[in-house]
Structure formats: structure tokens, C-alpha cells
Amino acid sequence: MQTYELIQKTRRLEPLCEEEIRFLVEGFTKGEIPDYMMSAWLMAVCCQGLTSEETVSLTLAMRDSGECLDLSPIGAVTADKHSTGGIGDKTTLLIAPIAAACGGYVPKMSGRGLGFTGGTIDKLESIPGFRTNLELDEFLEATRKTGCCIITQSGNLTPADKKLYALRNLTATVDSIPLICSSIMSKKLALGADCILLDVKYGSGAFMKTPEDAEILARLMVEVGKAAGKKCRAVITDMNAPLGAAVGNALEVAEVIRMLRGEVRNSLTDLATSLSAQMLVMSGKGDIVECRKMAEQAISSGAALEKLRIMIGMQGGERRVCDDPSLLPQAACQMTVKSESRGFVTAIQSEEIGLACLGLGAGRTAGRSAIDFGAGVEFARTVGDFVGQGDPLFTVYGANADLCADAAARIRRAITIKEAPAVQRPMIHKIIE
Ligand code: URA
């Protein structure tokens, strides 16, 4: 088989068979197919697309490029969840303990921040002492005992994706629905959970800018998951404004704790409850009405907070943060910005918020790998809220006054205030089963 011919076939829209796709993935992973040839094939995929059969073959070949976990020692139906990434997206930190408090089992491998979006692992590492690099047997045992455990991607899972993703990043080929689908789904399938819940985001703070594109990606991922024998569902959700009130690692953990203590309730609470309910339905815990009620009770009774506390302790973290979020890292400097006008907050450009937080040191940029865990922003008003002239609009947290002032100016420009409220979009656009 010649790589040259396979590139030409994809360029000419002639579908590749399973064997041809495996040849490409295995050859590239072993270093037998050079980067320049794989880049040409990736670019052909970007421009011409792949059929859903080709996407299934690509995903399965990527899954099989490395180790696949055996979750059977957990001894129960397991559920995984993936978000395509967003600003202030701390839903995993809520869903895992909520589902665990309702009898679900959530063994989760999460990622770090990517571009302007945050990552669950960075958020968890802001908790003093928290270990995200557990050994596999510790991971399985912690999930079996607690119902949830969240660690960083480890072991030799999907080496093909690691190599392909690095090449896509350098060759402007990230932005392709079949490539995004195979990258995400190969990792989910290698982890091996029985049920996979996908939160596919659209909007200014997401990789998919429109609900239509998000739906194409969601349908493809569900099809691939089902072809691999998994229970798979996708929820298409709005990421035009940041999720919840906080953006930034420790600030987001504090928001999660306050939410589970019942001190905060906003659109994030509703989304986390809906996603937890979907996960519980997939895990066979009841119908959607029963599971939603269970999820709500897990929050109101404090059972979900207790699960979070146990999970933090099992992973070596300071569990007292659940009683006192001020034990989380604090920024050296803070600056509150007040509204110059009165009216309703009608929009917050979430990509701008993500970039402002990157500038504050809340995420990684080229040449800077350390994160300022305390950095970020907390909104006193979010979309739909009324704000009076002189009322606090948001507070910026950072290492010094200059960083805070730059971010504050950028965030202020990203907020629109109008006399009349905007029509509210539902957080959940569609559910694909
Ligand atoms: N996240 C992934 O894991 N892969 C992609 O290709 C895009 C987002």
C-alpha cells in the first residue's frame, strides 16, 4: 500500500477502506509514515471531509494504537463525560460528585487548558495537595470506593492522537469535524466507560461557532460511539457567554463548592443538573424525571458536596477547602469594575473573557507554562441581570495592578449593557440520542 495513493484518494473524494485507514494510523504512529505525508493527508481530510464509515475506522484505529483500559474492577456500570471546551466550564467538577452521590460511577480522565479554554486538571491542581497523576490501580480503587475520580491522561492511551494532534496544531488542520470527532472519541473509547455523555458546545467561546456545526459534530460522535458498542448521547449547549460567574482555576473550584453548598444558583446549576440527570439515565438509574430529581436532591442535601470532599481527600487534596474556599490560592491583587450605565447585561463575549484570563496568567501561553491559580475574573452580573449605574460589574484577580488593569479594560469591552433585556437563549439547544 502506498501512502501517496491514499492521499490522492482522499483528495479525490474516493473513500478509504478500514485496512487503508489502519495502514495510515499504524504507519504514522510507528514513525514509518513521515510528518510531511501525514500532513498532506490531514489537509486532504480538512478540505474534502471523510464519510462516517471512514471516521469510525479512523477512530477505532486511533483507539487501538495504544493501551485500552479495563474498568471491570470497578464492578458497576461506568459513565464518562466530555465537553468540547469552553470558558468557565466547570461542569465536570459538579457532575462527577453529583452522579456519584446518586449511585453512579464516573472514572474520568481530563485534560489541561487548550488555547483560550480552561481544563479540568488545571482547576483541580489549584486545590492544595491534589494529585491528578494516580496510578491506574489507585484510579480504579478510588472510583470503586467513592464513585468518582478525576485524573490526567496517563499511560500509553491513544499515542496516535498525541502525534496527530501535535501535527494538526502545526499544520492548520485542527478545524475539521471528522478529525475532532476521531481525536475525542478515540480517547473516550480507550478509557473504556460503558456510557459516554458528550457536551458539545457552540458559540463565541467554543471551537464550533454555530449550533448547526455543533450538531454535525455531535451526531457523528454519537454514531461513532454506538458503532463501538457504547451507550452514547450528546447535549448541544450554548457557550456564547461564560458558564457561571467565575473564570479562572481556583475561582471556579470555589464557585463549584459554593454551588454544592447551596449558596449560589445560576445557569450553571441548571446545566450541571441536566447533564448529571442524563448521565444517570444512561447508567440505568431511572427515567429523566426521576434522575433530575435525584440530582437536585444530591445538591440540596449536601450529598454531592460530601462526595467532592471525599474525592479531594482520596486524591491527596486539602478537603477543608469544601468548608472554607478561602484556603484555595488567592491572587495578590484584585480590582472591581463598576458599571458606568444602568440597564441589562445582554452579552458577554466569552472568547474575549478567555483571552483576558490567559493574559492574567490563568492559562498557558507559548513561552509560559506556569499557571497563576488565583488569577481570573468573577462576574457580579451575568447575561440577563439588571445592573444599576455604579453597581459592581466584575472583579479581576491577578498578580499585579498592571495585569489587572489590562484585563479589566478588555473584559469591560466584552460586556454589552442595553436598556432592554435580550431574549434569553436556552442553555440546552438539543439532545442527540
Ligand atoms: N479536543 C480534542 O481532544 N481533540 C480535538 O481535535 C479538538 C478538541
Query: pLDDT by residue (tens digit) across 362-384?
Result: 988 765 578 999 999 999 999 99
- Please, are residues 253 and 365 in contact by the beta-carbon 8 Å criterion? no
CA 336 – CA 332 distance, rounded (Å):
14
Look at the block and give the residue holding cell 440530582.
295
Q: Which amino acid is at 302?
A: G
Amino acid at the residue 429: H
Closest CA to 32 of 1, 56, 61, 59: 1
C-beta separation of 244 from 207 below 8 A = no
CB proximity list for 139: less than 8 A, separation 6 or greater:
107, 149, 151
Q: How far apart are CA 406 and CA 358, in angstroms?
A: 12
Q: In the numeric block, which cell numbers belong to residue 164?
A: 496527530
Q: Tell me the three cell numbers of residue 2.
A: 502506498
Whether 260 contacts 299, CB under 8 Å: yes
pTM for the full model? 0.93
82 is catalytic: yes
Helices (H) and strands (E) in the chain, counts: 16, 13
Any residues with Cβ below 6 Å from ligand 1, and which? 174, 179-180, 183-184
pLDDT of residue 1: 80
Distance 250 CA to ligand 1 centre (A): 24
Could you confirm whether 183 is annotated as catalytic? yes
- Measured CA to CA in angstroms, residue 88 lies from 66, 333, 341 at distances of 32, 20, 25
Of ligand 1's listed atoms, the one at least distance from the Cα of 183 is 4
Distance (Å) from CA 251 to ligand 1 centroid:
25
Give nearest CA residue, ligand 1 atom 5.
180
How far apart (Å, rounded) are the C-alpha atoms in residues 395 and 413? 14
Tell me how far apart the alpha carbons of residues 165 and 61 are, in angstroms, rounded to a whole number.
Answer: 15
Residue with cell 450529598: 303
CA dist 429 → 212, 235, 333 (Å) = 10, 8, 38
Instruction: Say if CB 343 and CB 381 are below 8 A apart.
Output: no
Report the distance separating Cα 308 and Cα 368, nearest Å. 31
- Using alpha carbons, list the distances in angstroms from residue 50 to 17, 57, 360: 11, 10, 39
By DSSP bridging, strand 428-432 and strand 376-379 are unpaired
Q: How far is the CA of 179 from the centre of ligand 1 (A)?
A: 8
Beta bridge partners of 203: none
User: What residue owns the CA closest to ligand 1's atom 3?
Assistant: 184
pLDDT of res. 129: 98
Residue of 80, 171, 183 to mutate, ligand 1, most atoms within 8 A of C-beta: 183
The cell 487534596 sits on which residue? 317
How high is the pLDDT of residue 367? 54
pLDDT number for residue 368: 54
- The pLDDT assigned to 175 comes to 84
For 10-153, strand residue ranges (E) read: 79-83, 106-110, 148-152
71-99: b or e for each residue (b if 16 or more CB lie within 10 Å)? Answer: beebeebbbbbbbbbbbbbbbbbbbbbbb
So what's the pLDDT on residue 158?
A: 95
Cβ neighbors of 229 (< 8 A, separation 6 or more) are none
Stretches in the chain below the pLDDT threshold 70: 114-116, 366-368
What whole-number distance in Å separates Cα of residue 243 and Cα of residue 409? Answer: 21
- pLDDT at position 308 is 98
Four-residue CA torsion sign, 82, 200, 237, 209: positive
pLDDT in tens, 310-319: 999 999 999 9
The label of the residue with cell 495585569 reads 403
Grid cell, residue 127, equals 486545590
**What is the number of other CB atoms lying within 10 angstroms of the CB of residue 328?**
20
Residue 115 backbone zone (phi > 0: left; psi -120 to 50: alpha; other: beta): left
| Cβ atoms of 63 and 226 closer than 8 Å | no
**Euclidean distance between CA atoms 429 and 433, whole angstroms:** 13
Per the CB < 8 A criterion, the answer to whether 193 and 70 are in contact is no
Nearest CA to ligand 1 atom 6: 180
If one residue of 42, 63, 89, 114 were mutated to test the ligand 1 pocket, choosing by the most ligand atoms within 8 A of its CB, it would be 114
